[in-house]
Amino acid sequence: MARMNLSPSVVVAAAADLADASGYEAVTVSALARQLGVQPASLYSHVRDRAAVLEGVHQLALADLADRIAASIAGRSSRDALVGLVEAHRGFAREHPGRWDALQRPAALNTVHSEPAARLVQLIWAVLRGYAVPADELVHATRLVGATLNGFIALERVGAFAHRSPEAEVSWLRAIDVLDQALRSWPRGETAAETVTAAETVTAADPSTIAEYPAPTAPHQESTP
């Protein structure tokens, strides 16, 4: 690649593209330098080290996935919004395998509390609140949806569904049906009054600020989807 003007965002974007093309583990400072047409030393003016590059890829992946979800759920509610949410995840994993792999790694505390992480959780909670999931149950519902999504996508990526009928797509649609039913019948929590009716359409992000989507490194927090 011809030499180009560098900035932290340019370096991180190139790293994300490299991860998609060659795999997450292929992202190194020397590989990035070759891709950008510069000497490795030139990159250290823009990123601290490989760990900083990978943290940037993680945050970029969160932002890209949030953009995809926002477009997929806009104007939808209840089951339609759920379908948009899960299809956005599955499509993102297929089209951006390196970025998706970044999302499966423990997140630095800065990433856990970053704007892209908060926005992603807000979008997910907006979908869940369309099912009238009580406010004190949103974290549990988020974990259920995330575990189902990540488990299915992880098994599909390694070909675990390729040796038995019916096709994986049939099971995927069944999984969506099961999630839909589970969310419709979600048990009421202690603050059930703080709910939104299932008829509400997703038009904006939820105002909550808790970012639990990335898998954090801090021992007092848990990973969600």
> What CATH number should be reported for the domain holding residue 196?
1.10.357.10
Shared domain check, 66 and 10 = no
Shared domain check, 146 and 35 = no
Shared domain check, 177 and 91 = yes
Shared domain check, 79 and 2 = no
Nearest to 161 by CA among 149, 174, 170: 170
Per the structure, the complete domain to which residue 10 belongs is given by 1-47
User: Which pLDDT score is estimated for 189?
Assistant: 63
Q: Please say if the pLDDT value at position 13 is more than 80.
A: yes
Q: Please say if the pLDDT value at position 211 is more than 80.
A: no
Shared domain check, 206 and 113 = yes
User: Which pLDDT score is estimated for 188?
Assistant: 79
Considering the domain boundaries, does residue 143 fall inside one? Answer: yes
Considering the domain boundaries, does residue 69 fall inside one? Answer: yes
Q: How far is CA 210 from CA 65, 104, 119, 120, 156, in A?
A: 17, 19, 9, 10, 30
User: Which pLDDT score is estimated for 132?
Assistant: 86
Cα–Cα distance for residue pair 19/22, rounded to 1 Å: 5
Q: Please say if the pLDDT value at position 204 is more than 70.
A: no
Counted domains in the chain:
2
Shared domain check, 209 and 121 = yes
User: Which pLDDT score is estimated for 4?
Assistant: 64
With cut-offs at 50, 70 and 90, classify the pLDDT of residue 119.
Answer: very high
Mean pLDDT computed over every residue of the chain: 85
Q: Indicate the helix (H) or strand (E) that contains 58.
A: helix 50-73
The pTM of this model reads 0.82
Q: Does residue 213 contact residue 121 with C-beta atoms inside 8 Å?
A: yes
With cut-offs at 50, 70 and 90, classify the pLDDT of residue 190.
Answer: low
Considering the domain boundaries, does residue 225 fall inside one? Answer: no
